[in-house]
């Protein structure tokens, strides 16, 4: 080869080597962060699972629910830690087997996220209709039982809690109209509502004549409030998801580059 050709080859190899080093560095840093996040989930979940009453004695009544949540948290932490470990080890070693596993898992995540975005756009009206119908059935059931006093209606504690928690969380009252409660007020419609205190109250009321004097009744119905929140934060959520997908695509490219060849001196 001529001197010019050799210099071109060396230049190409140097550029490829720098690109590979950069991609590996991105992959290593990313997966170290994922590993640390997974380890944090594992540690916090384990501590709270075994010592939750020591930290928060008031949670003793909800130990079953908290235990289930902590088990889920530890499971997620374990998956994240294992996933980050595989990616980090594959990036450091350049072994194709590890990087192939990492590539496939990330690719599946990207595909699922894209499918969710497409479905949320294409099927948005269907999702909204199904959600509103389910909520309508639940709110109507609550109104029939507690506002109209129909004792033939059977409604569970979870359903009672869901109605009041939803209204308290979204700061709304009623589903599609605030006067659906027959002139009465569910506790969740009041600004001072505390879900935990209400659940612990043996004499809790499900229908009030009016909100307590030191609280106010929410004036927006829940459908309108949820739509307002969706309009306000929907674009932000989509942008965040797109950024995550973009970052995952970079990780896919990094995984491919990292296993192509060894470092070039």
Whole-structure pTM value: 0.63
Residues 6 or more apart whose Cβ sits within 8 Å of residue 216: 190, 191
- The separation between CA 257 and the C-alpha centre of its own chain, rounded to angstroms, equals 31
Token representation of residue 154: 């059977």
**Contact (Cβ atoms closer than 8 angstroms) between residue 164 and residue 195:** yes
- Percent of the chain predicted with pLDDT > 70: 84
Give the side-chain half-sphere CA count within 13 A for 205.
14
- Percent of the chain predicted with pLDDT > 90: 25
Burial of residue 5, with CB atoms counted within 10 A of its CB: 0-12 exposed, 13-18 middle, 19 or more buried: exposed
Structure confidence by residue, pLDDT tens digits, 134-174: 999 999 999 999 999 899 999 998 899 999 999 999 999 99
Q: What is the mean pLDDT of the chain?
A: 82
Spatial distance between the Cα atoms of 263 and 265, rounded to a whole number of angstroms: 6
- The predicted structure's pLDDT at residue 13: 46
Spatial distance between the Cα atoms of 34 and 242, rounded to a whole number of angstroms: 19
Residue labelled with tokens 């009672």: 160
- The predicted structure's pLDDT at residue 244: 86
- The predicted structure's pLDDT at residue 202: 83
Mean pLDDT, to the nearest integer, of 24-31? 88
**Dihedral sign for Cα atoms in the order 242, 245, 247, 253:** negative
- The predicted structure's pLDDT at residue 251: 87
Residue of 174, 182, 165 lying closest to 224 (CA atoms): 174
Residue of 166, 219, 232, 236 lying closest to 195 (CA atoms): 166
Q: Is the pLDDT of residue 21 over 60?
A: yes
Which among 151-160, 172-181, 228-237 has the top mean pLDDT? 151-160
Structure confidence by residue, pLDDT tens digits, 110-140: 899 889 888 888 888 888 888 889 999 999 9
Burial of residue 194, with CB atoms counted within 10 A of its CB: 0-12 exposed, 13-18 middle, 19 or more buried: exposed
Among the listed ranges 10-19, 41-50, 93-102, 155-164, which one has the minimum average pLDDT value? 10-19
- The predicted structure's pLDDT at residue 124: 82
Q: Nearest 10 degrees: CA dihedral of 170, 175, 176, 177?
A: -100
Among the listed ranges 48-57, 106-115, 197-206, 211-220, which one has the minimum average pLDDT value? 48-57
Spatial distance between the Cα atoms of 146 and 206, rounded to a whole number of angstroms: 6
């Amino acid at each position: 080869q001529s001197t010019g050709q050799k210099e071109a080859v060396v230049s190409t190899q140097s550029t490829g080597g720098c690109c590979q080093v950069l991609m590996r560095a991105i992959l290593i840093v990313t997966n170290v962060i994922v590993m640390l996040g997974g380890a944090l989930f594992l540690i916090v979940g384990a501590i709270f699972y075994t010592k939750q009453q020591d930290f928060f004695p008031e949670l003793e009544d909800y130990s079953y629910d908290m235990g289930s949540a902590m088990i889920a948290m530890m499971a997620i932490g374990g998956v994240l830690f294992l996933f980050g470990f595989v990616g980090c080890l594959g990036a450091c070693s350049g072994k194709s087997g590890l990087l192939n596993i990492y590539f496939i898992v990330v690719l599946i995540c990207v595909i699922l996220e894209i499918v969710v975005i497409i479905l949320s756009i294409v099927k948005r009206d269907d999702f909204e209709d199904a959600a509103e119908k389910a909520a309508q059935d639940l709110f109507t059931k609550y109104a029939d039982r507690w506002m109209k006093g129909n004792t033939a209606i059977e409604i569970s504690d979870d359903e009672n809690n869901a109605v009041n928690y939803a209204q308290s969380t979204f700061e709304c009252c009623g589903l599609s109209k605030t006067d659906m409660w027959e002139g009465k007020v569910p506790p969740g419609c009041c600004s001072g509502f505390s879900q935990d205190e209400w659940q612990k109250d043996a004499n809790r009321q499900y229908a009030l004549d009016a909100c307590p004097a030191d609280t106010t009744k929410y004036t927006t119905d829940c459908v309108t409030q949820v739509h307002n929140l969706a309009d306000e934060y929907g674009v932000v959520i989509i942008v965040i998801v797109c950024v995550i997908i973009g970052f995952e695509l970079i990780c896919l490219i990094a995984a491919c580059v990292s296993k192509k060849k060894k470092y070039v001196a």
